[in-house]
Amino acid sequence: MPTTTRQRLIDSARARFYNEGFRNVGIDTIYGDVGISKPAFYKHFESKDALMVAVLEDVGRFIEQRFRAMVAERGGPTAVGQLRAIIDVVQLFIEGDDFHGCFFVKAAMEFPLPHDPVHLLAERHKRAMEEFIATLGEQAGAKDPKSMAEEFCLLLEGCYVTRSVTNNPKTIEIARRMVNQLLDRHLP
């Protein structure tokens, strides 16, 4: 199925924003990448802000669907297995050649005001991941699934940031050890 111009704009912007930052990329660069004119760009997005929101929504949907599918595939049919598989999936992401940190952390740092639409989308994504982990925790019999999910996500965020900043290959080993301790403490 052919890719729509709108999706090509989102794809180009996603790559540019992730690698160069949201504020550093002008829409002229993005519509130039796609090979359309400025008026053609505005037929799809009313502004750069609207494009940024569309990109984050697209990335969020992709990551959440792909992440959940990978966790289910690697973790098997049990919630406990899936919780323990999360760190394996994170390892696949952070050890990829194209990993330069969490897209949503980058977005929140560039747009720190809590009412900014970009910041709100980054927060929404983080909450969705917490809810996913809390649901697995509840299914696995965690004493306090919400607290477990908050702690788990904080460890994952530290893993993303540490690997991005230091490129230390042992980051995942440290994170795995801490995640296993966390799950041992919270699960029956």
Strand extents, DSSP E, the chain: none
- 106 with 92: CB under 8 angstroms? no
Q: Can you give the pLDDT at residue 185?
A: 97
- CATH class (in words) of the domain with range 1-45: mainly alpha
Per residue in 10-54, pLDDT tens? 999 999 999 999 999 999 999 999 999 999 999 999 999 999 999
Per residue in 56-104, pLDDT tens? 999 999 998 999 999 999 999 999 999 999 999 999 999 988 899 999 9
- 161 with 96: CB under 8 angstroms? no
- 82 with 139: CB under 8 angstroms? no
The answer, yes or no, to whether residue 2 has pLDDT greater than 70, is no
- CATH class (in words) of the domain with range 49-186: mainly alpha
Nearest to 140 by CA among 77, 48, 55, 62: 77
Q: Can you give the pLDDT at residue 3?
A: 76
Domain ranges of the chain: 1-45, 49-186
pTM for the predicted model, two decimal places: 0.90
Q: How far is CA 178 from the centre of its chain?
A: 20
Compute the distance between CA of residue 81 and CA of residue 77 in angstroms, rounded to an integer: 7
Per residue in 132-186, pLDDT tens? 999 999 999 999 999 999 999 999 999 999 999 999 999 999 999 999 999 999 9
The answer, yes or no, to whether residue 1 has pLDDT greater than 60, is no
Q: Can you give the pLDDT at residue 13?
A: 97
Q: Is 101 left (phi over 0), alpha (psi -120 to 50) or beta?
A: left
